[in-house]
């Protein structure tokens, strides 16, 4: 190898290493959900509290525990080391809990783990403490009934029967939670709409209803039991 070629090769190698280093730095800056990596500002809001959950949602052990829902109004963060408290008892520090900006997180208040549960009689103040002991979020709980929640509604809290743990406190959020996300890649598609059916296909009684054709674009049989057809997302079985 000539001297010039060696120099160019070395320069290319240095440039490559520099690019890798920059890439790693960018990667690290982007993933502030790693435990211990603190964003500039932790901006969390307690958006929903359930003090008497018997039928809304189960925790990972299948228990209907009380819960609080948080919304991350700030940057990506990780609640590792944060604690929950009712003012008297304080939970053990949370483990690795990545929390992306603009998302909701449900924290179950299992008395065996936190040392306290939320009283449905209301009156107590719940705190979420940052790693340094400062208050990251707090809320004073109002009385609520079984499977009711206290939810944040833009200007203040209200008691409702419409629990939406992990979802926005809106009608859309409630529909998403109770009925699931629309399938992004469904096997069955509406292939043809025949809205003015006069001559093509009579039904059994000899009249000509509107027709839609369904097409199964998957390789497998699809059973349509449990499917429904609607023009009203609020009343889908209509």
Report d(CA 46, CA 71) in Å as an integer. Answer: 6
Report d(CA 50, CA 115) in Å as an integer. Answer: 17
Is 164 one of the binding residues for Ca ion (CB under 5 A)?
A: yes
User: Which of these segments, 62-70, 82-90, 128-136, 181-189, binds Ca ion (CB under 5 A)?
Assistant: 62-70
Report d(CA 168, CA 71) in Å as an integer. Answer: 9
Is 169 one of the binding residues for Ca ion (CB under 5 A)?
A: yes
Binding mask 101-120 for Ca ion (x = CB under 5 A): ----------------xx--
Distances (CA, A) of 217 to 44, 62, 223: 44, 37, 13
Choose which of 50, 51, 79, 137 interacts with Ca ion (CB under 5 A).
51
CB of 165 to Ca ion, least distance (A): 6
Report d(CA 174, CA 163) in Å as an integer. Answer: 7
- Alpha carbon distance, N-terminus to C-terminus of the chain: 79
Is 160 one of the binding residues for Ca ion (CB under 5 A)?
A: no
CB of 54 to Ca ion, least distance (A): 10
Choose which of 33, 46, 50, 66 interacts with Ca ion (CB under 5 A).
66
Strands of 24-122, DSSP E: 44-50, 66-72, 77-78, 83-85, 98-99, 104-109
Indicate the residue among 79 and 126 with the shorter CB distance to Ca ion: 126
Token pair 């189960």 is found at 58
Position closest to Ca ion via CB: 164
Indicate the residue among 91 and 169 with the shorter CB distance to Ca ion: 169
Choose which of 32, 33, 42, 48 interacts with Ca ion (CB under 5 A).
48
As given in the structure block, the two tokens for residue 38 are 């603190």
Is 91 one of the binding residues for Ca ion (CB under 5 A)?
A: no
Binding site for Ca ion (CB under 5 A): 48, 51, 66, 69, 117-118, 164, 169
């Amino acid at each position: 190898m000539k001297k010039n070629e060696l120099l160019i090769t070395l320069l290319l190698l240095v440039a490559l290493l520099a690019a890798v280093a920059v890439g790693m730095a960018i990667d690290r800056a982007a993933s502030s959900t790693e435990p211990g990596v603190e964003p500039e500002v932790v901006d969390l809001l307690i958006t929903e509290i359930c003090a008497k959950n018997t039928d809304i949602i189960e925790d990972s052990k299948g228990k209907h525990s009380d819960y609080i829902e948080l919304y991350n109004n700030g940057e990506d963060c990780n609640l590792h080391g944060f604690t929950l408290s009712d003012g008297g008892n304080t939970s053990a520090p949370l483990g690795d809990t990545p929390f992306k900006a603009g998302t909701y997180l449900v924290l179950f208040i299992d008395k065996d783990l936190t040392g306290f549960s939320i009283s449905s009689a209301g009156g107590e103040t719940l705190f979420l403490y940052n790693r340094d002991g400062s208050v990251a979020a707090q809320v004073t709980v109002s009385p609520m009934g079984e499977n009711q929640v206290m939810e944040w509604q833009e200007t203040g809290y209200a008691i409702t029967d419409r629990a939406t743990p992990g979802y926005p406190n809106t009608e859309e959020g409630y529909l998403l939670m109770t009925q699931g996300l629309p399938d992004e890649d469904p096997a069955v598609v509406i292939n043809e709409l025949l809205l003015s059916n006069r001559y093509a296909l009579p039904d059994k009684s000899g009249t000509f209803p509107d027709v839609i054709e369904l097409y199964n674009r998957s390789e497998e049989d699809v059973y349509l039991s449990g499917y429904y057809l609607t023009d009203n997302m609020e009343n889908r079985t209509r």
